[in-house]
Structure 1
Amino acid sequence: MIQHVLIDLAGVLYSGGQALPGARDALARLQAAGCSCRFLTNTTRSTCAEVIAQLQKMGFAIPEEAVFSAPLATRARLLADGLRPMLLVHPGLLPEFDGIPQDAPNAVVVGDAGEALNYARLNSAFRLLMQGAPLLAMGRNRYFQDVDGLSLDQGPFVCALEEAAGIEAEVLGKPAKAFFDSVLRDLQARPDEAIMIGDDLVADIQGAQEAGIPAILVRTGKYRPADGEDPHIRPAQIADDFARAVDWLLAQRESADV
């Protein structure tokens, strides 16, 4: 029986700073049913503390320790190896790296930098990579659903640097198996005891599946109709939204109890 639910944030629980219809009640139903919930995000324009404050303002009862973010995973990686990063990140994310030396950088970190990214910064990062610095990516997301439509995420710029420098990035957020494994360790759970709910076919669904975790794709956020027709990535279920995904999951749990 599924006991643990891994949940993406943007595009699943909320969009454009507003909770999606039925999402708050659905999360409360999951928690009332005894499911342990963890929240996985590749959001790289805000610190984890800001994300949690935003969620709580929208009415979601989500404790800080239940949120796993790609920036925090990146910070831990930098500290573990004593790396000094060149940060290609959004200005709003810089506080997440307070206390980490950044002089004479020996690593390149890429997030969704938005308009803070330009040719000069990309070229400086390229030159550093050509000297042997590792490329650390918080994710490979191609795009995200912004208030005014789809917007480029960090993935295309990670790919550009990989191609130019002839190297492969180390991905520290979704869809990296190590990221999902860290959540399972926190839950002290086996992969088959958990399920992922997300709107990103690759980062959420494929990433979870490669870690042995089944996944539900929701038709909100960045979902596009072609996602449901992919011949290689087949979710356990496709639901109209988070509330319907929770309906399906709780029905499966009830069937397992019979």
Structure 2
Amino acid sequence: MIKGVLMDLSGTIHVGTTPITGAIGAVERLEKAGIAVRFVTNTSRKTRDSLHDTLAKMGFDIPREHMFTAPLAVRRYLEQHKLRPYLLVHPNLYSEFDGVEQENPNAVVVGDAEDDFSFRKMNEAFRLLKEGATLLATGRTRYFEGDQGLELDAGPYVAALEYAADTSAIVLGKPAPVFFHEAAEELGLQPSECVMVGDDAETDVAAALDAGLQAILVQTGKYREGDEARIGKPFIKATDIVAAVEEIMRTVAVRP
């Protein structure tokens, strides 16, 4: 039985700064029905506070504490393991790591740095990794749907550093199972009691299924025809978030 929903943001309820048609009402419908929701995202060009403000300007009434972000998961990992990061992230994200010791780094943190993926910074990260630093990543997402079309995400740059330094990244956002499990735990639920809703066949849907959740693939955002072939387990397909919420409500209603 579905008791909780983990919902992607970019491509699922909005694209760039524009809400997907019907998304605001669909989110409100879940809240009014008393279904627990966490908004899970690898977005790493903005802090959680900034992301919350952006969503509010679009018209979404989402509590800040209901947003479960990959950068905050990275910060928790740094603090738990007493690591000092070299931040290869977007300048907007620096404040998310305020108070974390960064001198003499023994870890490299990679997010979606956008224009800051310069040769100088990538090379500095590479040298640290060759010296034994730990590679941490907000995610492995290859690309996402932006205002002007598809845009590269952090995944290709993580792969480049892994290849160059002959190392493996610890991924702390999607598609890591721990990310889904921690979000479900925040809701006080088992993974099997949650459904993940997203537009990425691999990072959202296949990964959630592998982590023991149910999953719905929405045909908006980065979705392209044929993406279903990347999913090897049973899932639900919905035209958009409105249809996905309708499916969730139907499932909740017909099961005891």
Displacement, 1:8?
0.4
What corresponds to 1:2 in structure 2? 2
Contact 1:201 1:233 in 2 (8 A): no
Q: What is the identity, as a one-letter code, of the residue corresponding to 1:216?
A: I
The 1-side partners of 2:123 and 2:204 are apart by 30
What corresponds to 1:221 in structure 2? 221
Displacement, 1:212?
0.3
What corresponds to 1:153 in structure 2? 153
TM-score w.r.t. the length of structure 1 is: 0.96
The 3-state SS of whatever aligns with 2:226 is: helix
The 3-state SS of whatever aligns with 2:255 is: helix
Q: What is the identity, as a one-letter code, of the residue corresponding to 2:74?
A: T
Displacement, 1:233?
3.1
The 1-side partners of 2:156 and 2:105 are apart by 23
Displacement, 1:246?
0.7
Query: 221-230 or 125-134, which moves further after superposition?
Result: 221-230
Query: 124-133 or 247-256, which moves further after superposition?
Result: 247-256
The 1-side partners of 2:65 and 2:147 are apart by 28
Q: What is the identity, as a one-letter code, of the residue corresponding to 1:78?
A: L
Contact 1:209 1:215 in 2 (8 A): yes
What corresponds to 1:252 in structure 2? 251
Displacement, 1:35?
0.6
What corresponds to 2:109 in structure 1? 109
What corresponds to 1:23 in structure 2? 23
The 2-side partners of 1:176 and 1:144 are apart by 18
Contact 1:216 1:235 in 2 (8 A): no
The 1-side partners of 2:182 and 2:40 are apart by 11
Aligned residues: 256
Contact 2:197 2:215 in 1 (8 A): yes
Deviations 1:149-193 (A, max 9, x none): 111110001001111111110000111111111112111111221
TM-score w.r.t. the length of structure 2 is: 0.97
What corresponds to 1:140 in structure 2? 140
Contact 2:209 2:233 in 1 (8 A): no
The 1-side partners of 2:191 and 2:115 are apart by 38
The 2-side partners of 1:170 and 1:229 are apart by 26
Displacement, 1:39?
0.5
Query: 48-57 or 37-46, which moves further after superposition?
Result: 48-57
Counting only pairs closer than 5 Å after superposition, residues 30-109 of structure 1 correspond to structure 2 as: 30-109=30-109
The 1-side partners of 2:92 and 2:75 are apart by 15
The 2-side partners of 1:228 and 1:206 are apart by 9
* Structure 1 portions without partners, runs of 5+: none
The 2-side partners of 1:2 and 1:42 are apart by 23
The 3-state SS of whatever aligns with 2:105 is: coil
Displacement, 1:228?
2.0
Contact 2:71 2:138 in 1 (8 A): yes
What corresponds to 2:165 in structure 1? 165
What corresponds to 1:239 in structure 2? 238
The 3-state SS of whatever aligns with 1:60 is: coil
The 1-side partners of 2:244 and 2:251 are apart by 11
Q: What is the identity, as a one-letter code, of the residue corresponding to 1:185?
A: E
The 3-state SS of whatever aligns with 1:178 is: helix
Q: What is the identity, as a one-letter code, of the residue corresponding to 2:138?
A: M
CA RMSD of the aligned region, Å? 1.1
The 3-state SS of whatever aligns with 2:156 is: helix
Displacement, 1:84?
1.0
Q: Percent identity?
A: 48
* Structure 2 portions without partners, runs of 5+: none
Displacement, 1:235?
5.1
